[in-house]
Amino acid sequence: MCGIIGIIDLSGDVSERLFKGLKLLEYRGYDSAGMAVIDDNRLHVVKDRGRIDEIHEKYDFLTLKGNIGIAHTRWATHGAPDKVNAHPHIDCMGSIAVVHNGIIENFMDLKTELMEQGHRFRSRTDTEVIAHLFEEYLKNEADVETAFVKTLRKLDGAYALAVLTVKEPQKIFCARVDSPLVLGVEGEKVYCSSDIPSLLPFTNKIVPLEDGEYAVLTPGNIMIKRISDGSPVRRAFKELDMGIDEAKKDGYPHYMLKEIYEQPYSIRYALGIQRNYLELMADFIDRSSRLYIVAAGTSYHAGVVGSYIFSRLARIPGLPVIASEFVSRYGDSISVEDSILAISQSGETRDVLWAVEQAKIRGATILAVVNVLASTLTRISRIYLHQQSGPEIGVAATKTYTGQLAVLYKIGFTLARKRGKLGQDEMDRFVDELNKVPEVVEILLKRCDHDMRKLANEIKDSKYVIFLGRGVNTATAYEGRLKLMEISYIPSLAYPAGENKHGPISLIERGIPVIGLVQDDETKKLMISNLHEVRSRGAKTYVISSIDDNDIREVSDVLIKVPQVSAIFTPIVYAIPLQLLAYYTSVLRGLDPDKPRNLAKSVTVI
Ligand code: M6R
């Protein structure tokens, strides 16, 4: 996730406003930043690695003169966080500048073609292809807007873009596909930005750009059209009545809810992970004798799901281990033949780092899935995959959990292909379905919000809550329990439903809520009979499932029906209602879900 902003202001230099807006976007990424303005028909660019203030101190953004400009704050995806990879990116002639948030999935193919046509690339980013592609189209196309649209139509992936060209020095061209972009106007001044808060110091007249649209900004005017057919879009500006703090949450009352609702995007970003890194990671896993999946808290639950995925898809056993237990349990048996797959959102969890350091001393290969780039874990691992969920501010992990799962599916499929463990048809069907998961999540969010609010109201005063799952959703039960417990403080239990009869069933009494997760696989029948066991002893059963048949209905006091997906993908889909349940329960109990007591976002102590 990155932040972009563009401004046209004929009454003065834009650099001061760009700088102010950029600072408000810094939460979206902060490993490098840059600004480009057009002055006297020439582009002037300042960029470097580091935080915005550090770069400002070094170069002083305000020395840039000009009435039109764009700026960027980066959270690296393709290419290390250094000066050459910082945005804006320019074409060969230095006459086009591009800032971008998102991932261009086909950039390698485009780059190869453009290099064959003689374009010289400076960076390792996916973004730079946009500048060169636009340059290429402008060679034969007199109309700049047409060249811009042709450029957009060649791009696959997600993007929010703002582009300057000296050919039309009073225009900003921008576009959006699966990455946010809003437009603003204030008299003759016009704006585009990744979010509303960064525009609120200047204007409250805002209009969102929707997916599949582009806009041409000129002084005092904004024209919106569809990318696919160039048809014009008429959309009225809204006059917003909200402060920056409220707007930072995109109008949501808490970061947690905002982050839950970001999942269609964040999962898509995670699925866009670069193939070459996946291949490398899969090579290491494939070569090792044993694979340990090491993590803490929510990331451990992702690891448990990962162990099912690797076994089901690639026939590879991966042993999930809670990081703080790893050294005492396996320290003595780790060897040079083993790989550790560490999963950590922050990349700074001390328990995880300790386990990894100890395994490294014993010669094991360290692999990682992380969200925070340049974190300690990225530095000590041999290969890491960046899940690209963007900063998560709520203490409870939500979008980063489903992002981790998305990356684990990608690793699973890469391993399966390498080891020839899935038939081509099955592979194609699964991969196709995985790519549709972001859409499913979008539908699900709309569908289940109301139900989960209602359910929260029913359980909010419960003495305790029990979560049951089997197979791939055992971990979803653990995760549902952790979410509810950490932000609502209601004691909660979760265990594989088969364990019920070995003890926990004694806790069942009249009215105790049991949340059951049922997927359509070999565990379905057993899970249903476990739900019968608790229901016949007085528990109230709330069942989350994509199955809707008589067996399920018979065992559910309340059935929360979610969209149909193959059983293997249900951990993503079933986690989302549980996140909403925890959120609404916390709010109904008068608590702040973003800041649960005694907890920190990143736990850097042992
Ligand atoms: O940054 P990490 O993923 O390593 O953090 C691990 C846990 O501290 C974390 O997942 C924690 O359990 C969550 N905040 C729970 O929502």
Ligand 1 mean position, distance from CA 103 (Å): 26
Residue 96 confidence (pLDDT) = 98
Q: How many domains does the chain have?
A: 3
Co-location of 116 and 227 in the same domain: yes
CATH of the domain at 346: 3.40.50.10490
Co-location of 243 and 279 in the same domain: no
Where a domain ends, among 248, 268, 292?
248
Ligand 1 mean position, distance from CA 564 (Å): 29
pLDDT tens, 475-494? 999 999 999 999 999 999 99
Q: Report residue 325: phi and psi, to 5°.
A: -100, -10
Co-location of 263 and 241 in the same domain: no
Mean pLDDT of 517-539: 97
Nearest CA to ligand 1 atom 7: 297
441 found inside a domain: no
Co-location of 510 and 576 in the same domain: yes
Does residue 75 carry a pLDDT above 80? no
Does residue 473 carry a pLDDT above 80? yes
Residue 111 confidence (pLDDT) = 97
For residue 486 the two structure tokens come to: 């950490």
Residue 114 confidence (pLDDT) = 98
440 found inside a domain: no
Does residue 576 carry a pLDDT above 90? yes
Mean pLDDT of 580-588: 98
Residue 11 confidence (pLDDT) = 94
Q: How many helices (H) and strands (E) does the chain have?
A: 19, 25
Within 13 Å, how many C-alpha atoms sit on residue 237's CB side? 19
Mean pLDDT of 501-514: 93
For residue 13 the two structure tokens come to: 């230099």
pLDDT tens, 215-242? 999 999 999 999 999 999 999 898 887 7
Nearest CA to ligand 1 atom 16: 396
Mean pLDDT of 185-207: 93
Residue 35 confidence (pLDDT) = 98
Q: What DSSP character marks residue 3?
A: E
- 456 CA to centre of own chain: 26
Round to whole Å and give the CA distance between 466 and 517.
Answer: 11
Give the CA distances from residue 333 to residues 114, 185, 359, in Å, rounded to whole numbers and listed in that order: 51, 64, 10
Mean pLDDT of 91-109: 95
Ligand 1 mean position, distance from CA 248 (Å): 23
Ligand 1 pocket test, candidate residues 603, 604, 605, most atoms within 8 A of CB: 603
Does residue 197 carry a pLDDT above 90? no
**Index of the ligand 1 atom closest to the CA of residue 395:** 14
Place of tokens 């999963």: 343
Query: For residue 545, what are the β-bridge partners?
Result: 518, 561
375 found inside a domain: yes
Ligand 1 mean position, distance from CA 594 (Å): 14
Does residue 317 carry a pLDDT above 80? yes
Does residue 422 carry a pLDDT above 80? yes
One-letter identity of residue 298: T
**Index of the ligand 1 atom closest to the CA of residue 599:** 14
Co-location of 153 and 12 in the same domain: yes
Co-location of 423 and 492 in the same domain: no
Round to whole Å and give the CA distance between 65 and 73.
Answer: 20
Residue 598 confidence (pLDDT) = 86
CATH of the domain at 169: 3.60.20.10
| Average pLDDT value over all residues in the chain | 94
Residue 250 confidence (pLDDT) = 80
Residue 290 confidence (pLDDT) = 97
Residue 390 confidence (pLDDT) = 83
Give the contacts of 383 (CB within 8 A, at least 6 positions apart).
277, 280, 281, 284, 367, 368
462 found inside a domain: yes
Ligand 1 pocket test, candidate residues 349, 373, 387, 486, most atoms within 8 A of CB: 349
Confidence of residue 325 (pLDDT cuts 50, 70, 90): very high
Closest CA to 199 of 214, 181, 175, 216: 181
Residue 275 confidence (pLDDT) = 87
Confidence of residue 540 (pLDDT cuts 50, 70, 90): very high
Does residue 192 carry a pLDDT above 90? yes
Does residue 606 carry a pLDDT above 80? no
Q: Peptide bond before 577: cis, by omega within 30 degrees of 0?
A: no
Q: Is 2 in the active site? A: yes
Ligand 1 mean position, distance from CA 37 (Å): 41
**Residues in contact with ligand 1 (CB, 6 Å cut-off):** 296-299, 344-346, 349, 352, 395-397, 482, 486, 602-603
Angle at 390 between CA 8 and CA 380, to 5 degrees: 125
Ligand 1 pocket test, candidate residues 254, 260, 298, most atoms within 8 A of CB: 298
Please tell me which residue in 2, 174, 192, 448 is annotated as part of the active site: 2
Co-location of 557 and 430 in the same domain: no
Where a domain ends, among 193, 218, 248?
248
Co-location of 269 and 206 in the same domain: no
Give the contacts of 248 (CB within 8 A, at least 6 positions apart).
27, 195, 197
Confidence of residue 178 (pLDDT cuts 50, 70, 90): confident
Round to whole Å and give the CA distance between 560 and 570.
Answer: 13
Give the CA distances from residue 298 to residues 305, 344, 401, in Å, rounded to whole numbers and listed in that order: 11, 9, 7
Residue 180 confidence (pLDDT) = 85
Co-location of 547 and 470 in the same domain: yes
Ligand 1 pocket test, candidate residues 256, 345, 481, most atoms within 8 A of CB: 345
Please tell me which residue in 154, 205, 561, 601 is annotated as part of the active site: 601
Confidence of residue 144 (pLDDT cuts 50, 70, 90): very high
Q: Is 601 in the active site? A: yes
Co-location of 182 and 243 in the same domain: yes
Structural domain of residue 13, as residue ranges? 3-248
First-to-last alpha carbon distance for the chain, in angstroms, is: 30
Co-location of 244 and 257 in the same domain: no
Co-location of 60 and 118 in the same domain: yes
352 found inside a domain: yes
Nearest CA to ligand 1 atom 10: 298
CB 545 within 8 A of CB 517: yes
pLDDT tens, 431-447? 999 999 999 999 999 99
Ligand 1 mean position, distance from CA 372 (Å): 13
Residue 183 confidence (pLDDT) = 96
Confidence of residue 82 (pLDDT cuts 50, 70, 90): confident
With a pLDDT cut of 70, the percent of the chain lying above it is: 99
524 found inside a domain: yes
- 455 CA to centre of own chain: 27
Nearest CA to ligand 1 atom 8: 297
Ligand 1 mean position, distance from CA 223 (Å): 44
Residue 162 confidence (pLDDT) = 98
Nearest CA to ligand 1 atom 12: 297
Mean pLDDT of 75-91: 84
Give the contacts of 326 (CB within 8 A, at least 6 positions apart).
292, 294, 355, 358, 359
Which of the residue ranges 68-72, 270-274, 452-456, 514-518 would you say has the lowest mean pLDDT?
A: 270-274
**Index of the ligand 1 atom closest to the CA of residue 404:** 3
For residue 313 the two structure tokens come to: 């898809």
Ligand 1 mean position, distance from CA 345 (Å): 7
One-letter identity of residue 10: L
Where a domain ends, among 216, 248, 280?
248
Ligand 1 mean position, distance from CA 395 (Å): 8
